[in-house]
Amino acid sequence: MIAAGDAPTERSQAALAELCRTYWQPLYVFLRRKGIAPHEAQDLTQAFLADFLARNQVARADRDLGRFRSFLAASLENYLHNEWRRRSAQKRGGGRIPLSLDLARAEESYAAEPMDPETPAAAYDRQWARALLDQVVTTLRRRWEADGRGELFREFEAHLWQDAAAVPYAQLGARFDLTPVNVRVTFHRLRQQYREHLRLAVAQTVASEGEVEDELRFLMQAVSR
């Protein structure tokens, strides 16, 4: 997230776009769990991100301000407070940022959230964790596809969160013309890559290296609820 707060450059603009693509859905689910209707929640999410980025609020989310996850949620709460005070009637669609938001997918994620008393904060944290994990998996998938191993990755992907003993090494070895030992070693390396990329992704959202493990544990608990 540090790159997203840099002075406007091609790199920082790309980082801002990636921030929006990655974290808009947790914000949307947070608003929906507050009882806001789908279309208004979509408008509010876009308007908030437009305001957040236009005022370069992300520059405040530096390593002295703690977890970016909490910072973004607090920023949305402040935005909502100010929005309810200043707006009387705003036409839907005004002030949108150039993002293509998949409303149907977001509604599916919202519908899948358990109805528990911890929401909307718990729903936000859970969606944040899922968004971050999806980002890591997508990065790895693209790299494996670029190496011509996309099909093998898709077979491994379902087992990233499972016991390694559950991987059908012999079956995959026969399918991909590899020995079971080669399949086992390859899967072990993928898990290492996954952990490394996950740690790097989390490190970009916390104030210090010492907070990475705590944030990782928090996110794993959130996504497993």
- pLDDT tens profile 168-183: 999 999 999 999 999 9
Rounded CA-CA distance 208/139 in Å is 23
Rounded CA-CA distance 211/208 in Å is 6
pTM for the whole structure: 0.75
pLDDT band at residue 125 under the 50/70/90 scheme: very high
Q: What is the mean pLDDT of the chain?
A: 82
Is the same domain home to 105 and 121? no
Rounded CA-CA distance 136/172 in Å is 23
Length of the chain (residues): 225
Query: Tell me, what's the pLDDT at 111?
Result: 66
- pLDDT tens profile 190-209: 999 999 999 999 998 888 88
Q: Which of 58, 91, 112 is the last residue of a domain?
A: 112
Structural domain boundaries enclosing 206: 116-225
Q: Which residue has the tokens 């936000």?
A: 124
Is the same domain home to 137 and 219? yes
For the chain, give the longest Cα–Cα distance.
67
Rounded CA-CA distance 122/153 in Å is 31
Q: How many domains does the chain have?
A: 2
Is the same domain home to 132 and 219? yes
Cβ burial of 92 (10 Å; 0-12, 13-18, 19+) is exposed
- Give the rounded distance of the alpha carbon of 19 from its chain centre: 9
